[in-house]
């Protein structure tokens, strides 16, 4: 029968049957059994009673560790924690809000009163960090880099959506960093034989690992990762377009060399995969009465790579075909837009006639192309790789590194398109007034010569802080071009511009919006970290000398200096006060001792240690009474009337030397020990509070 326990009481007589622990102690030699029983009695406490003044060591330490006071909250460690909370909020949240707030449209637009401009944002080279970015970087640092670069992009993009509400958003390529490297499920993605030895050495040694570990499944995870940063928050600020605008659009189909590769090294299956999920890289869009033409410049460059035609024809065919028909595509798009503005439905009527196949005149088939002389809107060219310019052409004062884009090329990259390709693109598209590009990661603004239609080109900064620029950013376009139903301008455009505008044309203004300096933020963290360590060390040193209130929790009773081993002994006769005795006088002593031990050991494990004893030690008489275990003797065993357990026979009472424990005065800690305790407790508590706050901010982006 299971014993029934009552608060602050011993088990009843029927509950005093020996437990498994009693049987184990009974099997020990006499001296070991005595010490085991004494230690058991000494450190036993009741799990039922709540009135004990002596709690378990771990519980007391936990209580001491979390015992806060008002004076402690005003101590140096907690003041440092408060400072860290504010600084981390600034570095991880507020600095992004303030950076985007400084770029609001109204602060730099200079349109006439009543204008309803279309707001467009150009993002370049987010280039999501992946295993290709820093292949030699060890695991913890590489994971932190990926985590923090994603958070940086996400925080800037969230504030962009919350505060700027763009009507249209274009990406200018290099969405991924290693997108060109990850194999496809179908098709050959092996490097051509002629590229052997062209890879950088750091990539060459990782190529086999990449081919083994990263394929279509990994690329799809990267696509989902891109979507969780940019597509997920597209409607965060609003789902409605601005006043007078048709709707909101996000276009991310323009590929970069890190998405596909460059020139003759592009693999067709990799390009097909990219276009399947993001759309065709060559396209025409009419937005805010401007014609945007996107060109897959990385594929076009295969034709000027010097490789044989049979190796590049499949790469260049789509973009060459697009350029051949781009002016017709522009006219169709403009005509479609004008019909929409006039409230007309687009219907292409075909005659219902029966003709012989050889008699059909394909040149006279109905088409939506209005033909030469049709209305045309200002054309804006979008390309990932900038157009060619003379070496050392000045990029303007807003560039961070150097004054010009380097005219160079290497494995899977070329800083600018060739002169031949640049002229061909501008001339075939026609009426190109502005060009926007990416790839270089830094800002560059220039005006091209006559062979490129005097077009003004802006190379947009990368949005990521790991692309070699201290102040990443993006470009904002405010476009206003009211037209008549015939496609003619209906308003005389202004020519003035504000100081914040980087470029002004009759129909749009541009503005470079800068994002926070992440390296500068890390440097500020480093300075505050050094100040925190110095402050904690100085406070720990001054604590024992100036008598400051210790920050460390006081030593608990179980941490005080107490003599664990006995310091003296004395002989005492065992008294058996058990009410249960056997009639056999020769065994009564042993039997009663055994029964009494079972009762007392069970009681000791279910009651609290006496509060009168400040050291948690048993009183002397209790030590004697509870210290003697049952002993086994070869002479025979007798059955206990309560548990059926046999105990050995003894003819004489057992005499035991009971240990006597002495209290040792508390030793005063030395100054060095106080300093060590203060340092340990203050540093680890500040570290986990600040670290936990930082991880919370990082985990939720």
Burial of residue 454 (CB within 10 Å: 0-12, 13-18, 19+) is: exposed
Tokens of 14: 């029927």
Tens of pLDDT, residue by residue over 286-301, are 999 999 999 999 999 9
- pLDDT for 432: 96
Strand partners, 466: none
Cβ atoms of residues 121 and 475 within 8 Å: yes
- pLDDT for 563: 45
Residue with tokens 């990416």: 438
Percent of the chain with pLDDT over 90: 58
In a domain, 693, yes or no: no
- pLDDT for 242: 87
Residue ending a domain, among 516, 541, 559, is 516
Tens of pLDDT, residue by residue over 61-99, are 444 444 455 566 678 999 999 999 999 999 999 999 999
Within this chain, do residues 508 and 601 fall inside the same structural domain, yes or no?
no
DSSP characters for 329-350? HHHHHHHHHHHHHTT-------
Please state the rounded mean pLDDT for residues 119-131. 97
Please name which of 410, 411, 453, 418 lies closest in space to residue 432, comparing C-alpha atoms.
453
> What is the domain extent for residue 574?
13-66+570-660
Please state the rounded mean pLDDT for residues 549-578. 53
In a domain, 152, yes or no: yes
In a domain, 325, yes or no: yes
Does 521 have pLDDT greater than 90?
Answer: yes
Please state the rounded mean pLDDT for residues 109-126. 95
Does 221 have pLDDT greater than 60?
Answer: yes
The CATH number for 253's domain is 3.60.21.10
Please state the rounded mean pLDDT for residues 139-147. 91
Within this chain, do residues 512 and 576 fall inside the same structural domain, yes or no?
no
In a domain, 552, yes or no: no
Residue ending a domain, among 626, 643, 660, is 660
Tokens of 267: 């693999």
Does 509 have pLDDT greater than 60?
Answer: yes
Within this chain, do residues 399 and 257 fall inside the same structural domain, yes or no?
yes
Q: How many CA atoms, within 13 angstroms, populate the side-chain half-sphere of residue 243?
A: 4
Strand partners, 508: 479
- Banded model confidence at residue 219, pLDDT cuts 50, 70, 90: very high
In a domain, 405, yes or no: yes
Within this chain, do residues 329 and 477 fall inside the same structural domain, yes or no?
yes
Within this chain, do residues 52 and 159 fall inside the same structural domain, yes or no?
no
Strand partners, 220: none
Beta strand pairing call for 283-287 and 290-295: antiparallel
Instruction: Pick 631 or 251 by higher pLDDT.
Output: 251
Question: How many Å apart are CA 692 and CA 688, to the nearest integer?
Answer: 6
Please state the rounded mean pLDDT for residues 519-534. 97
- Banded model confidence at residue 342, pLDDT cuts 50, 70, 90: confident
Does 526 have pLDDT greater than 60?
Answer: yes
Within this chain, do residues 211 and 148 fall inside the same structural domain, yes or no?
yes
Cβ atoms of residues 460 and 172 within 8 Å: yes
Please name which of 211, 138, 139, 202 lies closest in space to residue 180, comparing C-alpha atoms.
211
Tens of pLDDT, residue by residue over 175-211, are 999 999 999 999 999 999 999 889 999 899 999 999 9
Does 641 have pLDDT greater than 80?
Answer: no
Cα 574 to chain centroid, rounded? 69
Does 620 have pLDDT greater than 70?
Answer: no
Mean pLDDT, the chain, as a whole number? 80
- Banded model confidence at residue 666, pLDDT cuts 50, 70, 90: low
- Banded model confidence at residue 668, pLDDT cuts 50, 70, 90: confident
Instruction: Pick 654 or 281 by higher pLDDT.
Output: 281
Within this chain, do residues 413 and 329 fall inside the same structural domain, yes or no?
yes
Within this chain, do residues 199 and 295 fall inside the same structural domain, yes or no?
yes
Does 260 have pLDDT greater than 90?
Answer: yes
Please name which of 470, 451, 486 lies closest in space to residue 520, comparing C-alpha atoms.
470
Tens of pLDDT, residue by residue over 573-618, are 444 444 444 344 434 444 444 444 444 444 444 444 444 444 444 4
- pLDDT for 215: 94
- pLDDT for 353: 77
Does 12 have pLDDT greater than 90?
Answer: no
Question: How many Å apart are CA 589 and CA 596, to the nearest integer?
Answer: 10
Question: How many Å apart are CA 145 and CA 128, to the nearest integer?
Answer: 10
Within this chain, do residues 55 and 125 fall inside the same structural domain, yes or no?
no
In a domain, 82, yes or no: no
Within this chain, do residues 478 and 591 fall inside the same structural domain, yes or no?
no
Angle CA 238–244–250, to nearest 5? 45
Within this chain, do residues 496 and 578 fall inside the same structural domain, yes or no?
no
Within this chain, do residues 331 and 183 fall inside the same structural domain, yes or no?
yes
Specify which of 22-26, 311-315, 636-640 reaches the highest per-range mean pLDDT.
Answer: 311-315
In a domain, 355, yes or no: no
In a domain, 140, yes or no: yes
- Banded model confidence at residue 239, pLDDT cuts 50, 70, 90: confident
Question: How many Å apart are CA 597 and CA 589, to the nearest integer?
Answer: 12
Cβ atoms of residues 472 and 464 within 8 Å: yes
Residue ending a domain, among 516, 534, 555, is 516
Does 265 have pLDDT greater than 90?
Answer: yes
Rama region for 262: left / alpha / beta (φ>0; ψ in -120 to 50; rest) = beta
- pLDDT for 664: 52
Structural domain count of the chain: 2
Backbone angles phi, psi at 341, to 5 degrees: -65, -30
Backbone angles phi, psi at 68, to 5 degrees: -90, 150
Strand partners, 647: 638
Q: What is the DSSP letter of 205?
A: T
């Amino acid at each position: 029968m299971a014993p029934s326990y009552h608060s602050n009481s011993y088990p009843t007589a029927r509950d005093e049957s020996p437990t498994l622990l009693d049987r184990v102690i009974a099997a020990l030699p006499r001296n070991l059994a005595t010490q085991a029983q004494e230690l058991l009695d000494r450190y036993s406490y009741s799990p039922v009673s709540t009135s004990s003044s002596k709690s378990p060591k771990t519980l007391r330490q936990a209580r001491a560790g979390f015992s806060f006071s008002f004076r402690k909250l005003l101590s140096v460690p907690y003041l440092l924690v408060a400072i860290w909370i504010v600084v981390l909020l600034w570095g991880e949240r507020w600095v992004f809000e303030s950076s985007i707030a400084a770029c609001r449209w109204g602060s730099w637009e200079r349109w006439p009163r009543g204008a309803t401009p279309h707001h467009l944002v150009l993002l370049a080279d987010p280039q999501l960090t992946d295993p290709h970015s820093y292949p030699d970087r060890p695991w913890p640092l590489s994971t932190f880099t990926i985590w923090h670069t994603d958070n940086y992009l996400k925080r800037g993009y969230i504030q962009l959506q919350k505060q700027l509400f763009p009507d249209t958003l274009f990406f200018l390529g290099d969405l991924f960093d290693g997108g060109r490297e990850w194999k496809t499920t179908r098709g050959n993605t092996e490097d051509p034989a002629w590229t052997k030895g062209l890879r950088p050495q750091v990539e060459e040694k990782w190529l086999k690992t990449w081919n083994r570990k990263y394929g279509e499944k990994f690329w799809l995870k990267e696509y989902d990762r891109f979507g969780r940063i940019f597509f997920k928050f597209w409607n965060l600020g609003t789902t409605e377009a601005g006043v007078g605008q048709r709707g909101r659009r996000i276009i991310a189909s323009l590929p970069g060399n890190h998405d596909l590769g460059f020139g003759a090294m592009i693999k067709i299956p990799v390009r097909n995969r990219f276009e399947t999920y993001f759309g065709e890289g060559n396209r025409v869009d009419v937005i805010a009465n401007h014609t945007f033409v996107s060109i897959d410049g990385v594929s076009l460059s295969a034709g000027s790579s010097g490789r044989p035609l049979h190796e590049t024809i499949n790469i260049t065919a789509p973009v060459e075909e697009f350029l051949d028909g781009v002016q017709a595509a522009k006219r169709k798009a403009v005509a479609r837009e004008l019909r929409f503005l006039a409230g007309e439905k687009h219907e292409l009527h075909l005659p219902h006639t029966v003709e012989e196949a050889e008699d059909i005149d394909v040149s006279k088939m109905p088409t939506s192309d209005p033909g030469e002389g049709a209305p045309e809107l200002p054309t804006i060219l979008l390309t990932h790789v900038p157009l060619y310019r003379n070496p050392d052409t000045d990029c303007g004062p807003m560039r961070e590194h150097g004054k010009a884009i380097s005219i160079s090329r290497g494995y899977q990259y070329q800083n600018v398109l060739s002169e031949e390709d640049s002229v061909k693109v501008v001339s075939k598209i026609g009426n190109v007034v502005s060009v926007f590009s990416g790839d270089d990661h830094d800002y560059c603004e220039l005006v091209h010569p006559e062979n490129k239609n005097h077009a003004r080109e802006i190379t947009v900064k990368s949005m990521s802080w790991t692309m070699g620029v201290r102040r990443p950013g993006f470009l904002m376009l405010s476009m206003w071009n009211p037209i008549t139903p015939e496609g003619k301008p209906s308003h005389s455009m202004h020519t003035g511009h504000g100081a914040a505008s980087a470029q002004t044309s009759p129909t749009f203004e541009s503005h470079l919006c800068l994002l926070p300096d992440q390296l500068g933020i890390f440097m500020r963290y480093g300075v505050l970290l050094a100040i925190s360590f110095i402050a904690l060390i100085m406070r720990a040193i001054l604590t024992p000398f100036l008598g400051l209130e210790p920050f460390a929790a006081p030593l608990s009773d179980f941490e005080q200096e107490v003599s664990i081993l006995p310091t003296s002994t004395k002989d005492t006769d065992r008294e058996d006060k058990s009410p249960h005795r056997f009639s056999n006088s020769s065994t009564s002593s042993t039997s009663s001792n055994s029964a009494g031990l079972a009762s007392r050991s069970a009681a000791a494990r279910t009651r609290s240690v006496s509060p009168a004893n400040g050291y948690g030690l048993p009183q002397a008489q209790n030590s004697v009474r509870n210290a003697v275990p049952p002993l086994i003797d070869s002479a025979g065993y007798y059955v206990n009337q309560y548990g059926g357990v046999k105990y050995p026979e003894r003819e004489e009472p057992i005499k035991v030397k009971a240990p006597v424990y002495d209290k040792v005065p508390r030793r005063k800690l030395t100054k060095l020990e106080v300093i060590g305790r203060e340092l340990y407790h203050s540093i680890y508590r500040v570290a986990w509070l600040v670290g936990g706050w930082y991880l919370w901010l990082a985990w939720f982006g």
